[in-house]
Amino acid sequence: MESRAGLAAAPRALPYYVAFSQLLGLTVVATTGAWLGLYRGGIAWEGALQFNAHPLCMVIGLIFLQGDALLVYRVFRNEARRTTKVLHGLLHVFAFIIALVGMVAVFDYHREQGYADLYSLHSWCGVLGFVLYFVQWLVGFSFFLFPGAAFSLRSRYRPQHIFFGAAIFLLSVGTALLGLKEALLFKLGAKYSTFEAEGVLANVLGLLLVGFGGTVLYILTRPDWKRPPQAEEQALSMDFKTLTEGDSPSSQ
């Protein structure tokens, strides 16, 4: 790998994969919008259309923004570590707030229509994922952004933070698929098997969700695409050294 004045060149294929992930992510959001607009009457905060705010907010927050927050360390390879960390944390805050609006929408809608809450596998997975996401953010903030955490604690927690980050993202993708399927079967019922246009569009949306999840996971897990150590940071901050130690099997 080429290195110049402490800046490591990005792996050649990485930008193409990142661009492809963004194209897929935006297509997921647009297809969700198209599905809700074409077949579900659009979105409103009052009445029956309030439900539609739920899938759109969850897809923007817990799929697209959460996925992008995970990619921050792959995309910003040469920016100061603290800037990248703050961006990672902020993207997760935006994702969380948008998802919270989506959660309020569905509970509000259920209350107004007199529907039961939290009976389905989609809702169980959703609540599990949402709680884990919140806890992961709080613990991540306390360890990595709050100045007090000991270096050794950070280094031991970091691999767990990365694993649970990826796992919660994948759980979010799975939960979105379950929700999509639920929305389809409730409305289409037996008509689903006649290849109705809505069903086909929603299936395509499901495959796009799987594709986005898979692409983000691929970019995250390629060992040679990990953020390189930086000369500047190694000199300026013990922080970085201890944070990356967790990566190496030999340090355990």
Which whole-number Å values give the CA distances from 3 to 81, 89, 178, 217, 231, in the listed order? 18, 28, 45, 26, 10
The binder of its own copies chosen from 38, 124, 152, 234 (CB under 8 A) = 124
Mask for 125-164, x = binds its own copies (CB under 8 A): x--x------------------------------x---x-
Q: Which two tokens stand for residue 234?
A: 């190694």
Residue 192 makes contact with its own copies by CB under 8 A? yes
For its own copies, the closer CB: 151 or 218: 218
Contacts of 82 (CB under 8 A, 6+ apart): none
Is 194 a binding residue for its own copies by CB under 8 A? The answer is: yes
Judged by beta carbon, residue 94 or residue 160, the one nearer its own copies is: 160
Between CA 147 and CA 143 the distance in angstroms is 8
Q: Is residue 214 at the binding interface for its own copies, with CB under 8 A as the rule?
A: yes
Helix, strand or coil, per DSSP, at residue 7: strand
Shortest distance, position 148 Cβ to its own copies, whole Å: 27
Non-local CB neighbours of 50 within 8 Å, separated by 6+ positions: 44, 105, 108, 109, 112
Taking the CB of residue 172, how many other CB atoms lie within 10 A of it?
A: 27
Secondary structure element (H or E) that encloses residue 124, with its range? helix 121-140
Question: Measured from the CB atom, is 56 or 202 closer to its own copies?
Answer: 202
Residues touching its own copies, count (CB under 8 A): 48
By CB under 8 A, is residue 185 in contact with its own copies?
A: yes
46 binds its own copies (CB under 8 A): no
Q: Does 9 bind its own copies (CB under 8 A)?
A: no
202 scored as a contact of its own copies (CB under 8 A): yes
Instruction: Report the C-alpha gap between 80 and 103 in whole angstroms.
Output: 35
Structure tokens at 11: 């792996």
Residues 197, 200, 206: CA angle, nearest 5 degrees:
140
| Count of C-beta atoms within a 10 Å radius of residue 168 | 22
Stretch that binds its own copies, among 32-40, 76-84, 90-98, 173-181 (CB under 8 A): 173-181
Sites of contact with its own copies (CB under 8 A): 1, 11, 115-116, 119-122, 124-125, 128, 159, 163, 167, 170-171, 173-174, 177-178, 180-182, 184-186, 192-195, 199, 202-203, 206-207, 210, 214, 217-218, 221-224, 226, 247-249, 252
